[in-house]
Amino acid sequence: MKKRFGNVIGNAVNIELLATELENGTQSHAYIIEGPVGSGKHTIAKEICKALFCLREGEDFPCGKCRFCKLTEAGYNTDISFWSKGEKATIQVDVIRDLTSTISYAPDVGKYKVYIIEDAGKMNVSAQNALLLSLEEPPSYVVFLLLCTDSASLLETVRSRAVTLKTELFSTDFVESWLKSSPQVEKSGADSTFVRNAAIASGGSLGAALAALDIKADGSAALAKEAEVMVEKLCRAPLAQRLLYFSSLKYSRGEYEQLFTFALKALRDLIAVKTGSGETLFFTDRESAAAVCSRVKMKKLVELYDAVSAADADIKANASSNTVLTSLACSKA
């Protein structure tokens, strides 16, 4: 049977209606996607993007098979851009001016250009006013997706020019039964108690529930915790403390490999949070990731990612773990 928006779970958003509009090309030029953290706003946004660009090479819609579905899924569709407040408390007018200055250029590769504004409720009034003109009369190829937790913080003039889609958190029971039916559970070897706990800990977010399982699947939660400490030390601690910390680690080669895998996932999250793109995979939510990387520069995060990747490669190439850890502790980043 043909699946429409198969990756979207739950019915908070009227998926049938949205899918029909997208399939017929009669979609709105702007959507406000509103809902609490972890309620799947990014999932809906990604599905809308896939549907806009999809070449329809299969029965499902979006097909998930065509070049554009794959590009979009992997985050490499250059006609989709993300805009956010970055390090600032609000999205200021210069961000929106940068955005609107690119609107008149035709799409790179597809039929559309999608502008995703993260935390759109954090746009200050002048930023919202700067966006208004583009919201009123965008070129036909432009689609805006405004993600926010509460659309009340948007001006009425902005809200009236977009269609609002609401997402909701799920009940613990729903998350538990959804987890039980997901293939990841079997793969992770999680027992029913663990599944129940993951559902409770998820706070109603399917993404957070899966992240909890992912950690289970990859080995032990203790190693994940250690990876978080390692990343914090790398980000913040002075050299002497880093050396002390790394010299205190006593793990097997296999455990170091897992530790570095976790650390790379965590750093990837931090980079994603900095650039305002995507959901977190390692941290349970954007807030806890943001807390770790506040006041840490993007350049440093990228350098740390490279340093941990190098350590990971060295461990896999059988280098002595002492040497690997010492050079990681001393990495210039």
- Can you say whether the dihedral through the CA atoms of 51, 56, 62, 67 is positive or negative? negative
Return the range that interacts with Zn ion (CB under 5 A); candidates 18-26, 66-74, 148-156, 298-306.
66-74
Smallest gap from residue 47 Cβ to Zn ion (A):
11
Task: State residue 185 phi and psi, 5-degree precision.
Answer: -65, -45
Nearer to Zn ion, 63 or 147 (CB): 63
Q: How far is the CB of 70 from Zn ion (least distance, A)?
A: 8
Question: Of these, 66, 93, 132, 298, which contacts Zn ion (CB under 5 A)?
Answer: 66
Query: Rounded to an integer, what distance in angstroms lies between the CA atom of residue 39 and that of residue 26?
Result: 26
Element (H, E) at 241: helix 239-248
What is the smallest separation between the CB atom of 77 and Zn ion, expressed in angstroms? 11
Token output for 311: 């350590």
CA-wise closest residue to 307 among 247, 263, 249: 263
Count of residues of this chain found to bind Zn ion when the rule CB under 5 A is applied? 5
The reply to whether 63 sits near Zn ion by the rule CB under 5 A is yes
Q: Which of 19, 69, 146, 147 binds Zn ion (CB under 5 A)?
A: 69
Element (H, E) at 301: helix 298-316
Q: Is 48 in the site for Zn ion (CB under 5 A)?
A: no
- Asked if 158 contacts 128 with a C-beta cutoff of 8 angstroms, the reply is yes
For residue 156, count other CB atoms closer than 10 A to its CB: 8
Report the nearest approach of Zn ion to the CB of residue 111 (Å).
13
- Binding segment for Zn ion (CB under 5 A), chosen from 58-66, 168-176, 184-192, 213-221, is 58-66
Pick the closer one to Zn ion by CB: 71 or 213: 71
Is-contact 79 112, C-beta < 8 A?
yes
Q: Is 54 in the site for Zn ion (CB under 5 A)?
A: yes
Give me the residues that bind Zn ion (CB under 5 A), please.
54, 62-63, 66, 69
